[in-house]
C-alpha cells in the first residue's frame, strides 16, 4: 500500500446501526456459532447493535438473557421479534381487546397480552383472529384448532390470519428442522387460505427495528436469501449473507434479483476485514485474484484465487451480471464447493 493510499473499506464503514438475525448468524440451537460473539462485541464498541428474529417461540427478555449468557451484552429493547411485528400489524385489523387464537409459544402469548389482547387456544371460543408462530411444542391439535377457526374465507366474513413468519426451515444444533412456514403451510393446505406475514421478508419488522434504533445507515446480517436478504432489499438497506446458517454457495449463485446480498462472508470475522473490490474487464469478473466469466451457456473459472470465498463472490457476480438463470448454465463443480461452517 502506498504512503497516501486509503485502506479498503470493510462492510461496516459508514454504518451506525448493525442489525443481526439470530438463528444461523449468532447461534444454532443454544450454542454460539464460531467467532460470532467476539465479532459482534467488537462491532458494539463503535456502533449500536440490534437483533431481529423471526423465531416467535421466546420473549425479547428470554432472547436477551440467552445472548448475554453467550457473552454478548443485550437488553430486551435491543431485540426485535416477529410477534412484536405481528401485533403492530394486527392492531390495524382487529384492535385490542379482541380475542386471538394463538398457535405458538410464550413469545407470542406475552406480546399479545402486552398489546392488550385476550388469548385463547380453542376455536370454540369464537376468536377474532388467528396468530401463528413457531414453537417446538406446537402440535397437530394446535394446527387443527387454527384450521377450525379459519374455515370461512376472509372475503366471506372469515377472521384474519397472521403468521409471524414464513421460514420453511430453522437451523438447530443437530441440523436443519422444519420452521414456521412448514407449519403455516399445513394449515393452508387444510383451509385453502393464505396467511398475512408480519416478519421477514416483509417490511414491518425491519421498519420497527430501524425506527427503534434511530438508524441513518443500517447494515443487516442474515443467513437466508429468501427472508433476511430479500427483506433488507425491500427496505433499501445493505445486507450481509454469512455462510454459517441455512443458505450455501449454490443458493447465492442462483439468487434472483431482489435477494442478492451486498456482502458475502464466510463468518463474522470478515465484518472487520477490508472487503475486496469487484473488478470487471472484458467480461471477466475478478475478486482478489479469483476470476470468473460467463460465455454463452458456460461459467468458466479462469483463476481460483487463494480463498474460496473470493471465488464464490466472483462467480456469483459473473452469473448475476450475465442475466442468465443459473439453471440453464453449465457451472463448474468447484463453484458449488462448500467448505464453510454449517450449523
Closest CA to 119 of 87, 144, 151, 166: 87
CA separation, residue 6 to residues 14, 18, 233, 273, 318 (Å): 15, 24, 29, 14, 27
Contact criterion met (CB below 8 Å) for 120 and 227 = no
Active-site hit among 13, 16, 23, 125: 23
CA-CA distance, 166 to 343, in Å (whole number)? Answer: 20
Q: What residues are paired with 196 via a beta bridge?
A: 162
13 is a catalytic site residue: no
Question: Catalytic pick from 21, 60, 128, 167?
Answer: 21
d(CA 81, CA 94): 20
The set of residues, in sequence order, having a beta carbon less than 8 Å from that of 4 and lying 6+ positions away, is none
125 is catalytic: no
Q: Three-state SS for 23?
A: strand
Residues 6+ apart with CB under 8 A from 123: 101, 145, 146, 148, 149
Residues known to be catalytic = 21, 23
Amino acid at each position: 500500500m502506498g504512503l497516501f493510499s486509503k485502506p479498503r473499506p470493510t462492510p461496516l464503514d459508514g454504518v451506525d446501526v448493525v442489525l443481526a438475525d439470530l438463528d444461523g448468524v449468532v447461534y444454532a440451537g443454544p450454542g454460539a456459532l464460531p467467532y460470532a460473539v467476539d465479532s459482534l462485541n467488537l462491532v458494539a464498541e463503535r456502533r449500536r447493535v440490534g437483533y431481529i428474529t423471526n423465531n416467535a417461540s421466546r420473549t425479547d427478555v428470554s432472547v436477551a438473557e440467552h445472548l448475554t449468557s453467550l457473552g454478548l451484552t443485550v437488553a430486551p429493547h435491543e431485540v426485535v421479534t416477529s410477534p412484536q411485528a405481528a401485533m403492530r400489524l394486527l392492531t390495524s385489523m382487529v384492535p385490542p381487546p379482541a380475542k386471538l387464537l394463538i398457535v405458538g409459544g410464550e413469545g407470542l402469548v406475552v406480546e399479545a397480552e402486552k398489546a392488550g389482547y385476550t388469548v385463547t387456544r380453542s376455536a370454540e371460543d369464537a376468536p377474532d383472529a388467528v396468530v401463528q408462530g413457531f414453537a417446538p411444542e406446537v402440535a397437530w391439535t394446535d394446527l387443527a384448532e387454527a384450521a377450525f377457526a379459519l374455515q370461512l374465507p376472509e372475503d366471506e366474513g372469515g377472521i384474519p390470519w397472521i403468521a409471524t413468519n414464513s421460514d420453511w426451515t430453522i437451523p438447530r444444533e443437530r441440523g436443519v428442522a422444519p420452521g414456521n412456514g412448514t407449519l403455516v403451510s399445513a394449515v393452508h393446505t387444510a383451509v385453502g387460505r393464505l396467511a398475512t406475514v408480519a416478519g421477514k421478508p416483509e417490511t414491518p419488522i425491519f421498519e420497527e427495528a430501524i425506527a427503534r434504533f434511530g438508524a441513518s445507515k443500517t447494515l443487516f446480517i442474515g443467513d437466508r436469501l429468501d427472508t433476511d436478504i430479500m427483506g433488507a432489499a425491500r427496505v433499501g438497506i445493505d445486507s450481509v449473507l454469512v455462510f454459517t446458517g441455512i443458505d450455501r454457495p449454490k443458493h447465492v449463485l442462483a439468487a434472483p434479483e431482489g435477494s442478492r446480498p451486498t456482502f458475502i462472508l464466510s463468518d463474522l470475522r470478515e465484518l472487520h476485514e477490508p472487503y475486496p473490490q469487484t473488478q470487471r474487464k472484458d467480461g471477466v469478473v475478478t475478486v482478489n485474484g479469483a476470476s470468473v466469466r460467463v460465455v454463452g451457456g458456460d461459467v468458466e473459472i479462469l483463476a481460483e484465487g487463494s480463498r474460496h470465498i473470493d471465488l464464490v463472490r466472483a462467480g456469483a457476480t459473473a452469473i448475476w451480471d450475465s442475466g442468465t438463470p443459473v439453471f440453464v448454465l453449465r457451472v463448474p463443480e468447484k463453484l458449488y464447493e462448500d467448505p464453510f461452517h454449517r450449523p
